[in-house]
Amino acid sequence: MAIAEHDNVFIFVPNLIGYARIVLALIAFWFMSTNYVISGWCYVTSALLDAVDGHAARAFNQSTRFGAMLDQLTDRCGTTGLLVTLAYFYPRYMFWFQLSIAIDVACHWLFMQTSVVVGRSSHKVNENFIMRLYYQKDILTFMCCVNELFYVCLYLLHFTYGPLIFGASLFKILAFLTGPFAVLKALISVMHAYVAGIDLAAVDVRERQEKRQKAEPGKKLE
């Protein structure tokens, strides 16, 4: 079924999905400390819809900067909300959860902001080999899924061991399997900041050179 063309970005299909993600995340936050069933399902559904809104944007030709920013902010805020709860549930590891929040928010914000400053059509477009590899669709989806799965498993383990496999908790097994990928994703986030820092510094150098070139004719006249 065809959808009529219009330019009201706020009601584009992928952005409507984005609003649904926000509502689900808020419900998850509300029940996060008391009801792991409601919170878990709402959080996971919100996270999975991250893939759906991307497909909708391409299918309906409704990719927008607003949608990309909405998507990024929902991802960052959703993960931050879960990590805050994990820091409360596991105070012994609070520093590592705090560090994860700081890396995730700061590095992605710098990368997104730099993409806008240098005029890229998308933050996923970058000349750096690691960034190009990371933003390949299958790799990006896999890394995001296992990262979220790691934190969700830690969350669920606070309430229940879940199904047992040969006497071992399924959630604990999944946490051990996905943990290294969560660490790897954090390192890639640091790489985001490094690449963005290089690009932003290059913009500064270029602007300083342009200012000096403009000032030189005036100096000669004096």
Catalytic residue numbers read: 75
User: Could you tell me the two tokens for 54?
Assistant: 């991307």
Considering only CA atoms, which of 174, 181, 177, 129 is closest in space to residue 156?
Answer: 174
Are the CB atoms for 18 and 71 separated by under 8 Å? Answer: yes
Question: 36-43 long-range contacts, Cβ below 8 Å, gap at least 24?
Answer: 36/155, 36/156, 36/158, 36/159, 36/160, 40/152, 40/155, 40/156, 43/78, 43/82, 43/152
Amino acid at position 55, single letter? H
| 106 vs 93: CA distance, rounded Å | 20
